[in-house]
Each structure stands twice: as C-alpha cells, then as structure tokens.
Amino acid sequence: MAAKRGPTPRPGILDIAPYVPGTSALPGAGKVVKLSSNETPLGPSPKAVEAYLAEAAHLSRYPDGSAAPLREALADRYGLDVARIVCGAGSDELLNLLAAAYLGPGDEAIYSEHGFLVYKIAILAHGATPVVAPETDLTADVDAILARVSDATRMVFLANPNNPTGTYLPFDEIKRLHAGLPDDVILVLDAAYAEYVRANDYEAGIELVATTQNTVMTRTFSKIYGLAALRLGWAYCPAPIADALNRIRGPFNVTGPSIAAGIAALNDQPHMQEAVAHNTAWLGTMAEALTGIGLAVTPSAANFLLVHFPQSKSAQEADKFLHERRIILRRVGEYGFPDALRMTIGTEKENQAALEALTAFMGAGQ
Ligand SMILES: Cc1ncc(COP(=O)(O)O)c(C=O)c1O
C-alpha cells in the first residue's frame, strides 16, 4: 500500500505565489489614511447603500441567477446587447472564468511586464503557461506582445489603464493589437479604471467587442462606484464566449444585495461624475506636488499614481515612515517596482496628509 500523504493539488498549484492585497490596517489605535487599494474616496452612492439595505428583507431568497436586472441596467446605460453581458463576483471572478473556459495545459497566455498580477495567477491556476511581454516607458508595448504570440497562445490579458502603472494604450494601439492576433486568441481588455480616463483617444473596449469575435471587456463596480466590498464586476463578450462563461460560472455567482446596489449605483451618474471630477483635479495636483519634492511620478490615467523613490531614499523606508504616521500606500515590489509605492487619490485631507508626510520624508536627513 502507498504511504499515506493526504490530498495533493494539481501540478503547479503550489508554485503559485498567492495574491497579496495591499495593507489595510496598522497595529495600534487611531484612524488610518488608507490609499493602498484604489478605492474611491467618495464612497458609494447613498442610493446604492439604500438599495443594498432594502435587500435585507429578502435574504432567504436566492438572487436572480443571471443577474438579469443588473445586466438590463448595464445594457441600457451603455447601449449593449444584454445577452452578451456576464456578471461576476468582482472582475477577478470573470478573469478566472475566462481562464477556466479557454486555458489549459500546453496553452500560453500573454500579459505585459507590469500587468495586473491576477492574470498570472489565473493562467497558472488552469495549468497554462504565462508569457510576459516587456513594456516600453512602463506602458504595454503592442509589438512586444505580438512578437510573443505563438501557435500555443490562447489569450492576451491587458489592463487598460494598467494597475499599478496607471498608463494606458490609445484605441488605435488596441486596434493594432487586435488586428495582429489570430482569430482564435481572445483579447481580454480589463477596463477596471475606464471611468476615470479623460483622454479623447481612449476607448474601454465596447466597440471592439461589438465588432470582433475574440475581444472581451471586463469592468468593475469596485473602483469608481465604490462597491468593492460587494464583489461585483461584469464582462461584455461575443455571444459564444458569454455562453461558455455562463456554463461554468456558479449558478448564483452574484448576490441579491450586489445586484440591487449595482443598479442604484449605475443610476446615480451625478455621484459617479463627482468622483471623476475629484479624481481629475487631484491626480494632476498630486503628480505635480510629488514631482516638486523630488519624486518621479508615472503619468496616470487612473485613480492612483506610481511614485518612484530615488536611490538615497528607499521606498521601503518611505513605507515605514508613512506607517508611523498612520498612512498606508501600496508596496509594489511584486510588480517589479521595489523602489516605488502606489498611491491612490484620496480625499483632500488624505492627499494632503500623504503629501505632508512624503515631504517630511524627502526632506529628512538632508
Ligand atoms: C486592473 C484591475 N483589474 C481587475 C481588478 C479587480 O477588481 P474586482 O474588485 O472587480 O475584482 C483590479 C483591482 O485592483 C484591477 O486593478
């Protein structure tokens, strides 16, 4: 009889480095300024909170299994085909469902050098091989991605704008990327930060999904809509891809309170616009101010800034210095940036607190 050794995960599972979320709490009492997870400083729409609370009266009932009321609200808002929208528990779930449906051992999937880490995990979790394309100026490089397409490539994941760099590709470049991919390779456009982008040459992906057979766009309610705790995302897909995802997703993968809150959030566009205006104003102000104290800031189209520290002042020391002042930014070493921290745009007070602390840090010992 074989020696007893208990259950073993599939090959490769234990080689996956788990996703480590940004720090969200510090030891000791007192409020923290948390600018580590790209959450909105304005919070959700009060109407979304109200809709969420009203659902408390129906907790014994299963939700609509296809999140139909939310899909209809999304279809109305964006002019989409409701049958091609799939909702999920955060866009993370949809990224994983795409990998589950289309990737397996022997397949390759490409993402860019500083791309969102969930892609690598989703690819490895399904036994496929991650292929990393180098970036140019901390921005995805279409030629580098296309150069890595092989007969085994099944998927390209691209966050646009990307986390943690904040850089984006204009629609012309996205179209060029799509045009260079074989028809059986899915281009996943992860547009988690789309609402924040103020650039005329940007398109989140709806047009390509509508006009091609192999583009999927993923979106989230976690960022500008302020519903991160509910775990709510959606994908707009070609019909056969929506069909595949619907076959393998959990039959009730989105909760009733999430559906209700999502609809109310979507219908409160003034609240969303306020979040955009706040972000646009502060993104520029903070980038300028941080540059002014000797930090290098990657130009961002999203709601966060990648802040690079000089050799004399390490990001690790800065992180410690900030924690002592109860301010949390995001360490980004695992994204290939040991010398940087990512700062989410917060409230006016939070931004000023972070700027003051960073100014003190940069000035200390000089
Ligand atoms: C680029 C990108 N995609 C997807 C997600 C996941 O968002 P969700 O909360 O919808 O799972 C994030 C969250 O940080 C992100 O930065």
Tens of pLDDT, residues 16-55: 988 888 888 888 878 999 999 999 999 999 999 999 999 9
Cβ–Cβ < 8 Å for 287, 299? yes
pLDDT over threshold 80, residue 246? yes
Q: What is the pLDDT of residue 205?
A: 97
* Mean pLDDT, residues 349-364 taken together: 95
Tens of pLDDT, residues 126-159: 999 999 999 999 999 999 999 999 999 999 999 9
> Is the CB of 116 inside a 6 Å radius of any atom of ligand 1?
yes
Pocket test of ligand 1: the residue of 35, 37, 38, 92 to mutate, having most ligand atoms within 8 Å of its CB, is 92
Give the whole-angstrom CA distance, residue 38 versus residue 161.
13
Q: Is the Cα dihedral 337, 341, 346, 348 positive or negative?
A: negative
Q: What is the pLDDT of residue 25?
A: 84
* Mean pLDDT, residues 285-307 taken together: 98
Cβ–Cβ < 8 Å for 330, 164? yes
Q: Which residue has the higher pLDDT, 5 or 167?
A: 167
Q: Find, among 185, 184, 189, 186, the residue nearest to 173 by Cα.
A: 189
Instruction: Provide the CB-side half-sphere exposure for 331 (13 A, CA).
Output: 17
Cβ–Cβ < 8 Å for 304, 346? no
Q: Find, among 123, 124, 114, the residue nearest to 159 by Cα.
A: 114
What is the DSSP-derived secondary structure letter of residue 46?
H
Q: What is the pLDDT of residue 365?
A: 57
pLDDT over threshold 70, residue 320? yes
pLDDT over threshold 90, residue 280? yes
Q: What is the pLDDT of residue 366?
A: 57
Tens of pLDDT, residues 63-104: 999 999 999 999 999 999 999 999 999 999 999 999 999 999
Q: What is the pLDDT of residue 18?
A: 87
Q: Is the Cα dihedral 168, 177, 203, 253 positive or negative?
A: negative
Cβ–Cβ < 8 Å for 292, 282? no
Mean pLDDT score of the chain: 96
Number of neighbours of residue 216 by Cβ within 10 angstroms: 28
The model's pTM:
0.96
Prior bond of 164 cis (ω within 30°)? yes
Q: What is the pLDDT of residue 20?
A: 82
For residue 226, the Cα-to-chain-centroid distance in whole angstroms is 13
C-alpha 237 to ligand 1 mean position (Å) = 18
> Is the CB of 38 inside a 6 Å radius of any atom of ligand 1?
yes
pLDDT over threshold 90, residue 1? no
Cβ–Cβ < 8 Å for 162, 115? yes
Give the whole-angstrom CA distance, residue 204 versus residue 206.
6
C-alpha 312 to ligand 1 mean position (Å) = 33
Tens of pLDDT, residues 152-202: 999 999 999 999 999 999 999 999 999 999 999 999 999 999 999 999 999
What is the DSSP-derived secondary structure letter of residue 136?
B
Q: What does 298-365 look like in DSSP terms, one character per residue?
A: E--SSSEEEEEPPTTS-HHHHHHHHHHTTEE-EEEGGGTEEEEEEEE---HHHHHHHHHHHHHHHHTT
Ligand 1 nearest-atom number relative to CA 37: 14
pLDDT over threshold 90, residue 3? no
Q: What is the pLDDT of residue 235?
A: 98
